[in-house]
Chain A
């Protein structure tokens, strides 16, 4: 098997001229790939900070998919019809799949999946703040699909072109599957909006509650987002937080008319000078609080994840035991043949 040249930055003291030369070559090659908008693959040399940034972003993304199963899974047994139940199950199964695609991508950066899982359960890892809001009514399933998944799609489509190959490939798969999520949410809201006055009020209430958290999914404003610039220089991020947020607002403005509801923001307007959609002020203090673990559902979400992991221990044990048994059986059969 081919030997791999290790090019990790050695300690200063041992940095001899050869190693320094190799490192400079590797950095130059990396810079050239960035300039060409080429892709970095797992075995390529990459700067430590690039690897760290990707690992943080991809694992947080994976955690978000996994935690994101909870608000909707809670409604599977309460869905108003068999059709809605089947749709919701498919969607939650997709979120699990998306989490797994992303964990695989993160693993290629040298982090074990078990470590990532443990970090999440132990509260050491972050995930999207949006999943720490409660989903108290059926209309929330509509608002989550239409707004939360809508915002996620806006964010994720440009990530298909992220400079790190495995991340981009995972996102292509995710985006293909995500569009049904948004449409089913749209349909739930549309149906409620055309239903009884109570149903319409319930739909409007859900839209009102999810509007600001959905806009905050794009992250802090550009002038308060220290990592964005570097991520854009590395071709991980293709558009700034505010650019994506503005684009999303523009889409919602039109779509909400079709649904027959309104967005809870009087200050939405299209700015002719900047050619961007502007919205009212968002409560970034709340965003920071939720991110720091003090949102309405943080504790509940983590506890549920921990419980699910522990409840699944016997399944993992059984699968391992079954695999071991099958191996023994096969070995015996081989012995008999021989």
Chain B
């Protein structure tokens, strides 16, 4: 028997809690890494599957976020492959919380994440130049005054 029980009868794990919270889009997505490398060579498919039977399409990539303790934010821990959200959550538990690293896990389809473009750094992020007044250290006249 598998250590995590029969997949037909979910073991009442965290996976159940979020069931229904997210509707997983039907259909297979193209397998792509979390951070598709814009300059990378196109992934080369291995000629011929090593196994005799044809393998099912590659599983989607999920990004994993772990809340290490109550009161703290979920922080990106890494990524993994899974056929759906429930199994992504179970895999995330096994892969990223073997030592009590978390009290809560989020899994997010990697392709659902929109990121800013590192190439447009200058244009996208407002320049802090000449905007010292957004920081408390800009205001010096209050030096020596208590509780200010």
Contacts and interface: CB of A to CB of B under 8 A. Distances in A.
A313 B51 contact: yes
A114 B31 CA distance: 10
Secondary structure dominating the interface of B: loop
5 contacts: A5-B117, A7-B38, A45-B39, A104-B78, A107-B61
A118 B47 CA distance: 9
Please give me the 10 A-B residue pairs with the lowest Cβ-Cβ distance, nearest first.
Answer: A110-B40, A42-B35, A323-B84, A323-B83, A118-B46, A2-B117, A110-B37, A107-B33, A8-B39, A121-B50
Interface in A88-118: 90, 93-94, 97, 100-101, 104, 107-115, 117-118
A309 interface: yes
Given A97-B95, A115-B45, A119-B46, A316 B80 contact: no
A325 B35 CA distance: 29
Given A2-B114, A322-B8, A322-B83, A42 B23 contact: no
Contacts of B34: 42, 104, 107-108
Output the residue of A169, A306, A327 with the most chain B CB within 10 A: A327
Contacts of A315: 2
B115 interface: yes
Output the residue of A1, A2, A7, A41 with the most chain B CB within 10 A: A2
A44 B118 contact: yes
Interface residues of A, number: 60
A112 B35 contact: no
Contacts of A100: 80, 95
Nearest to A107: B33
Contacts of B84: 322-323, 326-327
A2 B87 contact: no
A15 B84 CA distance: 43
B38 A4 contact: yes
Contacts of A323: 83-84, 86-87
A330 B43 CA distance: 33
Contact of A104 (B26, B80, B114, B118): B80
A110 B7 contact: no
B116 interface: yes
A42 B83 contact: no
A330 B20 contact: yes
B59 interface: yes
Output the residue of A110, A315, A327, A334 with the most chain B CB within 10 A: A110
Nearest to B84: A323
Interface string B88-131: 00000011001100000000000000111111100000000000
Interface in B18-63: 20, 23-24, 26, 31, 33-46, 49-53, 55-59, 61
A110 B56 CA distance: 20
A110 B39 CA distance: 9
Contacts of B31: 112-114
A86 interface: no
B33 A334 contact: no
Contacts of A334: 23
B41 A317 contact: no
A43 interface: yes
A7 B52 CA distance: 39
B37 A43 contact: yes
Output the residue of A6, A8, A113, A316 with the most chain B CB within 10 A: A113
A246 B8 CA distance: 53
Nearest to A325: B8
